[in-house]
Amino acid sequence: MSTQNIQSSPSRTVDAKAATTSQLPARVSLDKWADAGFTWSGQVLPSDFTRLESLLTPEHEQSVIGVETTLSKTSNVLGLDFALDGEVWFTCQRCLQPVAVDLSGAHHIDLLEDEVQAKMLDDDDEYLLLEEVAQNDGPESFLPLARLIEDEILLKAPLSPKHDDCEMIIDQVGEIEEVEEESPFAALAALKGKLS
């Protein structure tokens, strides 16, 4: 974020509110916001997420995804909530035409100090250990907000997207071999305590 750099031009002064709603922060200072709570809402483009973008079809225009996210403490446990509203376009693995995949939904991830805290959670709760996700920059510790949201999108994205009612006529002799692939994001899943 470089909004500070353009304050010399009065007509382009960015007020604090506009600045905070302009772009999904790549990271959030835990020292500043873990206790006070942090909220951001706005829109992102799928191309803001480079790993996601590499999976999407270039054959269809992508549209914005609404994001509302809150970092807050409940019963002394830090949690990241975010809700997504929108869809992205993949390539149908059967007919190779664009297929929309709805990303809309709400997510909650507990951010724990240690495994002891995990014992207080319900079995279905997703959690990450802060020491594994927080990034230190000098004395300050940051949560990689955009990366965590992208991780969640990648985990929920279909491995082999297809139209529900794909009408491709299979004009081949014999069966089409369905190849079972291991998710390229299995490592992400392994980081998680639980997957819903």
Residues in region 167-196 near Zn ion by CB under 5 A: none
Judged by CB, which is closer to Zn ion: 176, or 186?
176
Count of chain residues binding Zn ion (CB under 5 A): 5
Q: Which of 45, 95, 100, 154 binds Zn ion (CB under 5 A)?
A: 95
94 binds Zn ion (CB under 5 A): yes
Judged by CB, which is closer to Zn ion: 95, or 121?
95
DSSP characters over the chain = --GGGGTTSGGGPPPHHHHHHHS--S-EEHHHHTTT-EEEEEEE-GGGSHHHHTTS-TTS----EEEEEEEEEETTEEEEEEEEE-EEEEE-TTT-SEEEEE--EEEEEEEESSHHHHTTS-TT-EEEEHHHH-EEETTEEEE-HHHHHHHHHHHHS-SS---TT------SSSPPPPP----TTHHHHHHSS---
Q: Which of 64, 106, 166, 191 binds Zn ion (CB under 5 A)?
A: 166
Stretch that binds Zn ion, among 71-79, 123-131, 162-170, 185-193 (CB under 5 A): 162-170
Stretch that binds Zn ion, among 14-22, 53-61, 153-161, 165-173 (CB under 5 A): 165-173
Q: Which of 24, 78, 84, 92 binds Zn ion (CB under 5 A)?
A: 92
163 binds Zn ion (CB under 5 A): yes
Q: Binding residues for Zn ion, per CB under 5 A?
A: 92, 94-95, 163, 166
